[in-house]
Amino acid sequence: MLDGAEVATHNTRKSCWIIIHGKVYDVTDFLDEHPGGPSIILKFAGRDATEDYARIHPPKMVVEGIAIEKHLGPVDPKTIIATIPSTDKATGQTAPTLPLGMCIDLDDIETAGRNVVSEKALTYISSAADNLHALENNLSDWSRIIFRPRVLRDVSNVDITSSILGVQCTLPFFIAPTGLVGLTHPDASTRSREETMKCMIEEQSKLPRSLQGVSHIFFQLYVNSNTEITKTIILEAKQLGYRGLFITVDTPVSGKRNADSRLRAREELMSGEMARPTLPPPEPDEDKPGVEKLRLQAATTLSKTLNWSDLSWIRETWEGPIVLKGIQRWEDARQAVEMGVEGIYLSNHGGRQLHSAPSSLNTLMEIRAFCPEILGRCEIYLDGGIRRGGDIVKAICLGARAVGIGRPFLYAIGAYGVDGLVKAVSVLDDEMRITMRLLGATTLSELRPEM
């Protein structure tokens, strides 16, 4: 068993040891390979990095990502040098000043969340590609659609139940896939992929028997550059009983997110690790640290060769319903349907990928204008900028089966934990029912484009 005092002597770039979950790792050779750059690791050189590590990474990632010969063994907990405070402090007060009961809409919840979550969490949640043009369009485009209500109708009973790929849902919206949830709240999950997948299936087993016949869980897939790794992940989801496979198709590389880059650059500057600017080589330099290294590593993990022909082996491996997530133009929507997918998910990744990407609402309107025949041939989901129940109603009127909501739920859990999530869902439920009654509709099937 290693002594904490010995670990503390390895606190430089030339020899960097860190402690994670009671075990010591020599990460010297990994510093420039770290997607977030070396500076964040060097802050914890010779010390216990568990608190900051656990907020972002699942427990097994360090075990799998560091060469086995660099696993130095357990450390005597009594000898660990006192850890430095977490580098990821709250942006303002540690608890929301606005009581949850005073939150009337998702804007109130976002305001509370922005004042509570850490700077790193806020930067991640609020950032988007380049100058935020795509994100701003996501938010503003919904106001361009107006309602045309019918009056003198019996709207005493409103039913907003729906279905996704044959699975009955009490609400026509869902929590959109989001990353780094552990940054927003200490109770958010940082389990490994396998543990998370199994946990979700176990939770489903607790549902009433009448709801246990078909899986209510769907799996989002990022296609890895290594086909065999992708197949392994698909087979794991299949074995555990996931109902549908949502394939992310808009991330051959990660988009340029200026706010994330500025935060990382500041951390590098404070640690003395900021690299001098150089002209880029014809091809990405694999030895270049920092932001360019981050984008390069993301590119080597995410498949840059993913194309329409890959759907054949993915479907053969999966043998179940497939949805393509990240459709942004009507031509791709039509081709997806022609390829036989069960659903398309209109999304520009929350405005985080392509600068000036079209909003999902814009893409939906394109579909209605140029290939309306596909509306009845597959299910359509979308996300991006939805902040009110009325926005959900607009999406369904125009042909969406259900919508995803991301950032508001992150702010909700960041400010209020699980209670915040419940409140956010309740707000949207109430707003949807009010909107439908004022429109003169009592079921989702009555929501039509002419409304």
Q: Name, of 126-130, 288-292, 429-433, the range with top average pLDDT.
A: 429-433
For residues 318-335, average pLDDT: 98
Please tell me the distance from the alpha carbon of residue 145 to that of residue 149, in angstroms, as a whole number. Answer: 13
Model pLDDT, residue 289: 45
Sign of the four-CA dihedral 445, 447, 449, 451: positive
pLDDT reported for residue 250: 96
pLDDT digits (tens, 9 = 90+) for 353-388: 999 999 999 999 999 999 999 999 999 999 999 999
5 confidence band (pLDDT: 50, 70, 90): very high
CA end-to-end distance (rounded Å), the chain: 70
Compute the Cα dihedral for 426, 431, 434, 435 and give only its sign: negative
Res. 314: pLDDT tops 90:
yes
**Per-residue pLDDT averaged across 400-415, rounded?**
95
Mean pLDDT of all residues belonging to the chain? 85
Give 329-389 as a DSSP string: SHHHHHHHHHTT-SEEEE--GGGTSSTTPPPHHHHHHHHHHH-GGGGGTSEEEEESS--SH
**Residue 422: pLDDT over 80:** yes
Beta bridge partners of 345: 325, 381
Does the pLDDT of residue 120 top 60, yes or no?
A: yes
Give the per-residue pLDDT at 249: 98
145-183 pLDDT tens trace: 999 999 999 999 999 999 999 989 999 999 998 876 767
CA distances in angstroms from 254 to 35, 114, 164, listed in the order given? 12, 24, 28
pLDDT (tens digit per residue) in 249-302 = 999 999 999 998 888 888 777 766 666 666 665 655 544 444 444 444 444 578
Q: Could you tell me if 160 and 433 are in contact, meaning their C-beta atoms sit under 8 angstroms apart? A: yes
Quote the pLDDT of residue 93.
Answer: 53
pLDDT at res. 378: 97
Provide mean pLDDT across the span 22-27: 93
If one compares 87 and 449, the residue with the highest pLDDT of the two is 449
What distance in Å separates the CA atoms of residue 358 and residue 344, rounded to the nearest whole number? Answer: 16
Give yes or no for a contact between 170 and 161, defined as CB atoms under 8 angstroms apart.
yes
pLDDT at 57 over 90: no
Predicted pLDDT of residue 233: 92
Q: Which helix (H) or strand (E) holds 250?
A: none
Indicate the pairing of strand 167-169 with strand 17-20. unpaired
Averaged pLDDT for residues 1-27: 92
| DSSP string across 54-67 | HHHS-TTHHHHHS-
CA distances for 397 relative to 189, 202, 405, 411, 445, angstroms: 35, 35, 17, 28, 9
More reliable by pLDDT, 83 or 25: 25
Q: With pLDDT > 90 as the criterion, what percentage of the chain qualifies?
A: 63
